[in-house]
Amino acid sequence: MSGATTAAAGASTATGTRRPFRFGRWFRATGWRHGVGVVMSIFAIFPLLYVLSASLNPSGTLISANALFSIFDFGSYIELFDLPQQPYAAWYGNTLVIGITTSVCTVFLGAMAAYSFSRMRFVGRRVGLLAVLLVQMFPQLLAVVAIFLLLNGISDIFPAIGLDSQIGLIMVYLGGALGVNTYLMYGFFNTVPTSIDEAAKIDGAGHARIFFSIILRLVAPILAVVGLLSFIGTTNEFVIASIVLIEPEKQTLAVGLYQFVSDEFSKNYSIFAAGAVLAALPVMALFLYLQKYIVSGLTAGSVK
Amino acid sequence: MSITTPRAPRLTRAPTAPSTSVRVLIVKIAALAIVDAISLYALFIVFAQRDWIVFAAIVVVTVIVNVVYFSKRFLPAKYLVPGVIFLVMFQVFIIGYTAYIAFTNYGTGHNSTREDATAALIGSSQERVEDSPAYGLTVVESLGTYSFLVTDPDGDVSIGNADNPLSPVDNATIEGKVAVGIPGYNTLNFSQIVAAQEAIAGLTVQISDDPNDGALRTPDGSSAFVYRSNLVYDEAAATMTNSTTGVVYSDTGVGAFTANNGEELLPGWKIEIGFDNFARAFGDESIRGPLFSVALWTFTFAFLSVATTFLLGLFLAVVFNDRRMRGRRVYRVMMILPYAFPAFLSALVWAGMLNRDFGFVNQVLFGGADIPWLTNEWLAKVSIILVNLWLGFPYMFLVCTGALQSIPDELQEAAVVDGATPWAVFRFIKMPLLLVSIAPLLISSFAFNFNNFNLIYMLTNGGPRDVSAGVNVGATDILISMVYKVAFVGAGRDYGLASAFSIIIFVLVGVIAAVSFRATKSLEELN
């Protein structure tokens, strides 16, 4: 760690005995780092403050949003839920429902696959793992046209899971369940010693019992990470949601807010900002709360 | 390990084991019963539609699921099958389907079969046959489908709807001389007819299987008239003749009825057109030009995105990787915030801030300047890279910090003892070790940005638009947003061409994947 210091700040840091405070020395050692930190923090946080301030300024237009924090008024937040054309509350609910369902199912499907890859030896296991790795290189949105036409065809037969159906959309998302997630979980499953399984097996536990009541508990952190990443991914997903969900009542926040703001960008900026703040809150809260796990998950993903 | 010790007590509890296994068995059977019931229901519907490929697919999947879960063998499959079913359908199949669509003319005006196109053409050019007799009409409804119960001038009663031509019935309730009801259908009363006015006014019921016989339509819900098309379809010759002008349109293999002078009747139908879409993409100058510039920008954008975010992230990781510095946690949280904020919203917020006339950047930071951040071809590209830097540097900061902290201190201590300068320690010890663990992430970051649709579409919408291009494409469009626009934005949707573009992306991504897998393998050998 101190090496990075020396690397960046130079060898001028031969500290040891207490010496009187001198600004020059302090600045060369850590002061300039604070300078960088402050600049970067402003860069990082400014757009977020801007959108928060815009949301609290109910006069609404883009130009009035430039006067930062001149007014504190929650009018836009109330108006947001009264828009006749834009059912914000429905979008919010849909996003939560689709996001939670998708992430729970993704975690479950991925964990099952990871369990079999990690604990069982069978023909095609290596190929399967390679396929899982390969598949994640080709995200579903590349085949968005085919997804649209496939769901269009499904709606002729089963309208309940075809176009303009949230179940259909969730099913499409689950197509990506065995991608990078499985690989992440596979790595983590491998860190759980197999002696635990064997002990349970000797005690008479079946494979299902080992999976559900032993392994799943031991790998809970990675399940949380995958679930959260999948939830964030689904919340941010625009391409497929925008072509599958047609009725405004069924759309998600990404689709709805985009259309709202592209229709009348400068006019209703304050309402959009309020919608954005509310939409971002749960994701950001979860993210910061689980930050440690997510970071470990991010690096573990490819580093093994 | 510790679980093995309480073995004796477990053995005494052995008698309870059968009851749990019975419970598990019941749950298993119940779950499979539900799956089988759903697929049986699906099979009935598909059978009625005579869609044999789908029918076979459902049968195969159902059999596989049942075999896997009922037999004692196939243990790995029990855990893999559910995910794999979704994977095959919505990840593997759609790739193949994309390839198929790329070889068709699928799109606006070409999206169904020739039969559907024929019916649509005849239906859309219908006119009421002059002085045709009025049919007595009762609108009836069954399972949400409206049907016409008609009594023809001779008193014969028949029933039909949009999908089924009229067929005679004899069990209708007759009132006066008009049939007013029939078992199995609900007769609509006046207010219901008014409520469903649009659907009923748009309903056309063919008189017979031959579309040339004409169809019944109703202006008021109580009487129906014969409408006939001025297009006459000759099934044997597969030609369409306009009875007013006498022009003959024939199926010349281009997916639409075409007259001798090249005039096409639209809608046409979907046909396989071989490599035409690819020939258009690479041969047609108005498409080839934009395609190449978009591809070039896609690579540039993805590369610059990774480079800028990585360099800034690495720089910050090095700067803040100093134990003596106070408040590192605060800075860290501040700098993670952009990453936690949903990306699609970030792009929209930045689009507002960079707005030319009202945005914060022009109005406040540049004191009312008139800088076209998002509307000038080059500035828009710069803006995209900048916004992406904002979006992406926290991730790189996090992973670089993690990687730096995982490098053992002894290595650099040894190097310092050997007299290495700090820069040398960084350049020759930390950097290579860092790259080994970060390189795969850089590649996946490249792959992600290669298809970073949200940022482009929400920030600039791909614009400013290239007016000379033959497709709807702009200066900042990347390949995937180009596919989306060609397929779904605007009046003329061209699924075939869009899929051909998709295939091109697949090939590019495949090449990147192959190269990167090799590269990372060689990097790992460093370790």
The answer to whether the Cβ–Cβ distance between B480 and A141 falls below 8 Å is yes
Among all chains, which residue has been given the structure tokens 């320690």?
B425
Provide, as residue numbers in chain B, all residues whose Cβ is less than 8 Å from the Cβ of A137. 447, 509-510, 512-513
Whether residue A257 contacts residue A275, with contact meaning beta carbons closer than 8 Å, is answered with: yes
Q: What pLDDT score does B520 carry?
A: 67
Average pLDDT value for chain A: 82
**Residue at B462: amino acid letter:** G
Provide, as residue numbers in chain B, all residues whose Cβ is less than 8 Å from the Cβ of A157. 42, 45-46, 49, 51, 54
Provide, as residue numbers in chain A, all residues whose Cβ is less than 8 Å from the Cβ of B24. 206, 208
Q: What pLDDT score does A271 carry?
A: 86
Residue among A11, A37, A269 whose CB faces B320 most closely:
A37
Four-CA torsion A64, A65, A67, A70, nearest 10 degrees: 100
3-state secondary structure of B272: strand
Query: For B474-497, how does the pLDDT look when each residue is reduced to its tens digit (9 = 90+)?
Result: 889 999 999 999 888 877 788 999
| Separation CA B94–CA B91 (nearest Å) | 6
Whole-Å CA distances, B22 to A136, B19, B28, B76, B520: 39, 5, 10, 22, 50
Tokens matching residue B89: 């359908």
pLDDT at A194 over 80: yes
What sign does the CA torsion over A207, A210, A211, A212 have? positive
- Pick from A15-19, A256-260, B24-28: least confident: A15-19
| Separation CA A59–CA A66 (nearest Å) | 12
Confidence of residue B370 (pLDDT cuts 50, 70, 90): confident
pLDDT at B8 over 70: no
**Residue at A30: amino acid letter:** T
Query: For B514-527, how does the pLDDT look when each residue is reduced to its tens digit (9 = 90+)?
Result: 887 777 665 555 43
Closest chain A CA to residue B21: A206
Q: How many residues does chain A have?
A: 304
Tokens matching residue B31: 């779950």
What lies within 8 Å, CB to CB, of B113 at 6+ separation is: B269, B270
Tokens matching residue B380: 């828009």
Nearest-Cα distance to chain A for B375, in Å, is: 15
Provide, as residue numbers in chain A, all residues whose Cβ is less than 8 Å from the Cβ of B437. 299, 303
Average pLDDT value for chain B: 83
- Which of A145, A228, A252 to mutate to probe the B interface, most B CBs <10 Å? A145
Nearest-Cα distance to chain B for A109, in Å, is: 5
The answer to whether the Cβ–Cβ distance between B79 and A113 falls below 8 Å is yes
Task: Give me the mean pLDDT over the B40-59 stretch.
Answer: 85
Whether residue B227 contacts residue B214, with contact meaning beta carbons closer than 8 Å, is answered with: yes
- Pick from A40-54, A89-103, B509-523: least confident: B509-523
Give B474-495 as a 3 state SS string. ECCCCHHHHHHHHHHCCCCCCH
DSSP A29: I
Task: Give me the mean pLDDT over the A273-280 stretch.
Answer: 91
Provide, as residue numbers in chain B, all residues whose Cβ is less than 8 Å from the Cβ of A232. 342
Query: For A181-192, how does the pLDDT look when each residue is reduced to its tens digit (9 = 90+)?
Result: 888 888 888 888
Nearest-Cα distance to chain A for B331, in Å, is: 6
Q: What pLDDT score does A297 carry?
A: 61
| Selection from B60, A129, A222 nearest residue B52 by Cα | B60
Provide, as residue numbers in chain A, all residues whose Cβ is less than 8 Å from the Cβ of B402. 295-296, 298-299
Q: What pLDDT score does A13 carry?
A: 45
DSSP B470: S
Whether residue B471 contacts residue B70, with contact meaning beta carbons closer than 8 Å, is answered with: no
Query: For A108-123, how does the pLDDT look when each residue is reduced to its tens digit (9 = 90+)?
Result: 999 999 999 988 888 8
Task: Give me the mean pLDDT over the A38-58 stretch.
Answer: 89
Tokens matching residue A3: 């090496």
- Which of A142, A149, A225, A291 to mutate to probe the B interface, most B CBs <10 Å? A142
Provide, as residue numbers in chain B, all residues whose Cβ is less than 8 Å from the Cβ of A235. 342
Residue among B321, B326, B513 whose CB faces A4 most closely:
B321
The answer to whether the Cβ–Cβ distance between A238 and B350 falls below 8 Å is no
Dump the DSSP string for B201-242. HT--EESSSSGGG-EEE-SSSSEEEEEEESEEEETTTTEEEE
The answer to whether the Cβ–Cβ distance between B49 and A156 falls below 8 Å is yes
Give B242's Cβ-side CA count (13 Å radius): 15
The answer to whether the Cβ–Cβ distance between B363 and A34 falls below 8 Å is no
Q: What pLDDT score does A1 carry?
A: 38
Q: What is the pTM of this model?
A: 0.81
| Separation CA A257–CA A92 (nearest Å) | 10
The answer to whether the Cβ–Cβ distance between B93 and A150 falls below 8 Å is yes
Q: What pLDDT score does A86 carry?
A: 83
Task: Give me the mean pLDDT over the B203-230 stretch.
Answer: 79
Closest chain A CA to residue B437: A303
Nearest-Cα distance to chain A for B502, in Å, is: 6
Q: Is the ipTM of this complex over 0.90?
A: no
Tokens matching residue B153: 């001038």
Which domains does chain A possess?
88-263 (1.10.3720.10)
Nearest-Cα distance to chain A for B4, in Å, is: 5
| Separation CA B328–CA B421 (nearest Å) | 26
Provide, as residue numbers in chain A, all residues whose Cβ is less than 8 Å from the Cβ of B87. 135, 175, 177-178
Number of Cβ within a 10 Å radius of residue A152: 14
Provide, as residue numbers in chain A, all residues whose Cβ is less than 8 Å from the Cβ of B422. 3, 6-11
- Which of B58, B277, B348 to mutate to probe the A interface, most A CBs <10 Å? B348
Check whether the bond before A193 is cis (ω within 30° of 0): no
Residue among A30, A258, A276 whose CB faces B324 most closely:
A30
pLDDT at A299 over 70: no
Confidence of residue A239 (pLDDT cuts 50, 70, 90): very high
Which is more confident, B413 or A1? B413
Task: Give me the mean pLDDT over the B354-383 stretch.
Answer: 86
Closest chain B CA to residue A295: B398
Nearest-Cα distance to chain A for B412, in Å, is: 6
| Separation CA B37–CA A281 (nearest Å) | 42
Portion of chain B with pLDDT greater than 70, in percent: 95
What sign does the CA torsion over B325, B327, B329, B331 have? negative
Size of the A and B interface in Cβ pairs below 8 Å: 342
Nearest-Cα distance to chain A for B364, in Å, is: 7
Check whether the bond before B133 is cis (ω within 30° of 0): no
Among A212-216, B74-78, B105-109, B312-316, top mean pLDDT goes to B312-316
Nearest-Cα distance to chain B for A217, in Å, is: 15
Q: For chain A, how are helix, strand and coil distributed in percent, rounded to 5?
A: 75, 0, 25
- Which of B27, B69, B86 to mutate to probe the A interface, most A CBs <10 Å? B86
Task: Give me the mean pLDDT over the A240-250 stretch.
Answer: 91
Residue among A50, A122, A174 whose CB faces B86 most closely:
A174
| Separation CA B83–CA B77 (nearest Å) | 10
| Separation CA B70–CA B156 (nearest Å) | 57
Whether residue B407 contacts residue B430, with contact meaning beta carbons closer than 8 Å, is answered with: yes
Nearest-Cα distance to chain B for A220, in Å, is: 18
Residue among B349, B395, B509 whose CB faces A137 most closely:
B509
**Residue at B171: amino acid letter:** N
Residue among B93, B331, B352 whose CB faces A269 most closely:
B352
Number of Cβ within a 10 Å radius of residue B475: 20
Q: What pLDDT score does A264 carry?
A: 64
Give B333-396 as a 3 state SS string. HHHHHHHHCCHHHHHHHHHHHCCCCCCHHHHHHCCCCCCCCCCCHHHHHHHHHHHHHHHHHHHH
Whether residue B215 contacts residue B208, with contact meaning beta carbons closer than 8 Å, is answered with: no
Residue among B336, B453, B499 whose CB faces A141 most closely:
B453
The answer to whether the Cβ–Cβ distance between B101 and A239 falls below 8 Å is no
Helices (H), B180-327: 190-195, 197-201, 276-283, 285-320
Which domains does chain B possess?
27-102 (1.20.58), 114-265 (no CATH), 282-524 (1.10.3720.10)
Closest chain B CA to residue A135: B91
Residue among A200, A287, A302 whose CB faces B441 most closely:
A302
Q: What pLDDT score does A296 carry?
A: 65
Among all chains, which residue has been given the structure tokens 């010693």?
A193
- Pick from A93-102, A268-277, B386-395: least confident: A268-277
The answer to whether the Cβ–Cβ distance between A279 and B342 falls below 8 Å is yes
Number of Cβ within a 10 Å radius of residue B26: 10
Whether residue B465 contacts residue B374, with contact meaning beta carbons closer than 8 Å, is answered with: no
Confidence of residue A18 (pLDDT cuts 50, 70, 90): low
Task: Give me the mean pLDDT over the A18-46 stretch.
Answer: 82
Residue among A30, A109, A284 whose CB faces B322 most closely:
A30
What lies within 8 Å, CB to CB, of A261 at 6+ separation is: A268, A269, A272, B348, B351, B352
The answer to whether the Cβ–Cβ distance between B487 and A115 falls below 8 Å is no
Whether residue B231 contacts residue B238, with contact meaning beta carbons closer than 8 Å, is answered with: no
Provide, as residue numbers in chain A, all residues whose Cβ is less than 8 Å from the Cβ of B333. 288
Provide, as residue numbers in chain A, all residues whose Cβ is less than 8 Å from the Cβ of B46. 157
Tokens matching residue A105: 């199912």
Among A48-62, A109-123, B122-136, B313-327, top mean pLDDT goes to A109-123
Q: What pLDDT score does B358 carry?
A: 79
The answer to whether the Cβ–Cβ distance between A144 and B513 falls below 8 Å is no
What lies within 8 Å, CB to CB, of A121 at 6+ separation is: none
Closest chain B CA to residue A171: B86
What lies within 8 Å, CB to CB, of A103 at 6+ separation is: A226, A227, A228, A230, A231, A234
**Burial class of residue B431, CB neighbours in 10 A (0-12, 13-18, 19+):** middle
Q: What pLDDT score does B523 carry?
A: 54
The answer to whether the Cβ–Cβ distance between B502 and A204 falls below 8 Å is no
